[in-house]
Amino acid sequence: MSNHVHLMARAAVGLMFQDMLRDHKKFTSKALVKPMQEDPQESRREWLLRHVRAAEGGTRSWQHDLHPIWLRRPDIIQRKVRYVHRNRVEEGLVEEPHHYLYSSARDEAGLRGMLELRTLWTGRSRSAPPYNE
């Protein structure tokens, strides 16, 4: 079951990363809860709404703790991107990283992803082997 998110991001100039992350969590929490409240056929509805009601403020769907890693060098960025892309493969959800619909590995494979990505650095040359090291 996919129950967590890996996010590689940086705040725009003049913004604090913590503020950006807070706003991201607030927006996505509301976006997750709204369809659950409106669609009685949603299979996860009761579970999620029960979880949300138990949370402080009634709309929290994120945990308080974070596990931030400062990605300050290209080799660290490349290693973490590969880890994130292989994550769903290791879980047995897909056979290849780009098969996971919500993965940025789709963009690297030349497929359209679910989100528009602005790549700051990929660390991958065109001749580099995809994921099998």
| Every domain of the chain and the residues it spans | 1-67, 69-133
Using the structure block, give the residue that is written with the tokens 């009761």: 46
Full-model pTM:
0.63
The rounded distance, in Å, linking the Cα atoms of 104 and 74 is 17
Q: 50 vs 130, which has greater pLDDT? A: 50
First to last CA, the chain: 26
16-30, 47-61, 98-112: least confidently modelled range? 47-61
Give which of 99, 60, 80, 56 is closest to 8, Cα–Cα.
80
Closest residue by Cα to residue 37 from 67, 59, 5: 59
The residue length of the chain stands at 133
| Residue with more model confidence, 1 or 50 | 50
Supply the mean pLDDT for the chain.
77
* Selection from 87, 82, 72, 78 nearest residue 3 by Cα: 87
Please check the confidence at residue 41 and state whether its pLDDT lies above 90: no
Tell me the pLDDT tens digit for each residue of 5-25.
Answer: 888 888 888 888 888 888 888
Average pLDDT over residues 118-127: 52
Asked if the model's pLDDT at residue 70 lies above 50, the reply is: yes
